[in-house]
Amino acid sequence: MPYAIEQIVDAYVRLKNRRGLDELMMHRQRLAVDLKSRSGYDFSLPIGQIDEEIAIIEAGLSRLKSGNSTVSGTNRPL
């Protein structure tokens, strides 16, 4: 899943779609809060995946702020 979210974030950065990134971030944050409030099952794996996606989105937001529109993990421009 991280590869998929990286591609989505890279597309939003390339299109300079701050709103899309913000909505993606809010959705992941809501998911994390919801899962962390549940009990009766070990949600540590999905919570870890969502936290990883949030970090990827945060990196995309930082790239958008700095004006850096290169694909994450590479030095090639989009």
Decide: 6 and 56 in contact? Cβ < 8 Å: yes
Instruction: Note the pLDDT of residue 54.
Output: 97
Instruction: Note the pLDDT of residue 67.
Output: 82
Task: Name which of 14, 12, 24, 11 is nearest 55 in CA terms.
Answer: 24
pTM score of the predicted model: 0.81
Mention every residue, 6+ apart, whose C-beta is less than 8 A from residue 59: 9, 72
The first and second tokens of residue 15, run together, are 């299109």
Out of 22-26, 28-32, 61-65, 69-73, pick the least confident.
69-73
Summarize pLDDT for 2-54 with one digit per residue, the tens: 789 999 999 999 999 999 999 999 999 999 999 999 999 999 999 999 999 99
Q: How confident is the model at residue 75 (pLDDT cuts 50, 70, 90)?
A: very low
